Amino acid sequence: MSLLEFENVTLKFGGVIAVNDLSFNVEKGEVFALVGPNGAGKSTAFNLISRFYEPSAGRIHFDGHDLLAHKPSEVATLGVARTFQNNELFDHSTVLQNLLIGRHRHRKTNFLAEIFFSPSVRKQELQNRHMVEEIIDFLDLQPYRDKMIAGLPYGVRKVVELARALATGPKILMLDEPASGLSVEETTDMRWWIDDIRRQMGITILMVEHDMGLVSSVCDRVLALANGAKLAEGTPEQVQTNPAVIEAYLGGAA
């Protein structure tokens, strides 16, 4: 069984059909990309998985669970982590605190124990701190550990968002345009990280990306969308040479 399954999902906002009868499967361990022109419904598909939107029809399964039966906050608990297209970090906290929020889903203590900071809370905090440090080490965030997000450059914020998503210890990582706004070098770094996350940590990756260079270098399979519907699915080469995809991007012959 696939890790993530979209079954004939449709989402309508009034008369606008944002996602139209979309079906696809993401297999365990692969890197899967959603591509398509602006407004094709890529981010909307992410928001459907995060349960920010309620689909008008269809089903979404993740790791044997019916996602539609869960609350938005429970999706993370099932093992889905994500980043946002335009950073959604906690601006008035340090990088470290942002990453520690990522550990929230593993929390075992309740607020009463936390008011007294009982030994179990202390132990859990030390453990969280240790896990977070491993991720800081992995993504080279040491210089920024105690810096406030509000003062960090854009490129670093992107990495912090990736780190925060990784800190949740997910089964699937959803990256919404991981390379947008990054310099060429930063994009190369991102490429190697995505590769490492998949190989070393064994995390499945689902991403939305416009940079076809990045997509073809890291992705196993690509799904091209236009107007909320599936255009083509296959390896990066197959999709890039598909006439329907070329038409969607460049327009048909006049």
Partner 1 sequence: MRVHFKTSYEQDIRFFEDRWTLFLYASLVILAFVLPYIIDDFYLGEMTNVLIWAVAGLGLMLLTGHTGQASLGHAAFLAMGCYAYHILVKYGVTFIIAFPLAGIITGVVGMFIAIPALRLRGIYLAIATMAMSILVDDIIVLTAPWSGGVSGMFSDPLNLYWIQIDRWGTPVAFYYVVLVVVILVTLGYANILRSPTGRSFVAVRDSEVSAQAMGVDIAKTKMLSFALSCGITGLAGALMGMFSGVFNNETFSVVISVQLLMMIVIGGLGSIHGAFFGAIVIGFLPQFLSISKGWVGDVIGGSAVAIPGLEFGVFGMILIAFILFEPAGIYGRWFKIRTWLELFPFYRKGMFKRQKSFLKTERLQ
Total residues at interface with partner 1 (CB under 8 A): 51
What is d(CA 39, CA 17) in angstroms, rounded to the nearest whole number? 11
- Dihedral sign of CA atoms 221, 180, 190, 102 in order: negative
* Residues from 90 through 129 that contact partner 1 (CB under 8 A): 90-93, 96-97, 100-105, 107, 109, 111, 114-117, 121-122, 125-126, 129
> What dihedral do alpha carbons 95, 100, 101, 106 form, nearest 10°?
160
CB-count burial class (<10 Å; 0-12, 13-18, 19+) for 204: buried
CA-wise closest residue to 100 among 129, 124, 126, 73: 129
| Contact residue for partner 1 among 13, 27, 29, 73 (CB under 8 A) | 73
Under the binding rule (CB under 8 A), the answer on residue 198 touching partner 1 is no
| Contact residue for partner 1 among 7, 63, 74, 189 (CB under 8 A) | 74
Query: What's the min distance (Å) between Cβ of 125 and partner 1?
Result: 6
Under the binding rule (CB under 8 A), the answer on residue 184 touching partner 1 is no
Question: Count of CB atoms within 10 A of residue 17's CB?
Answer: 16
By the criterion CB under 8 A, which residues form the site for partner 1? 47, 50, 52-53, 71-77, 81-82, 84-93, 96-97, 100-105, 107, 109, 111, 114-117, 121-122, 125-126, 129-130, 133, 150-151, 154, 157, 164, 168
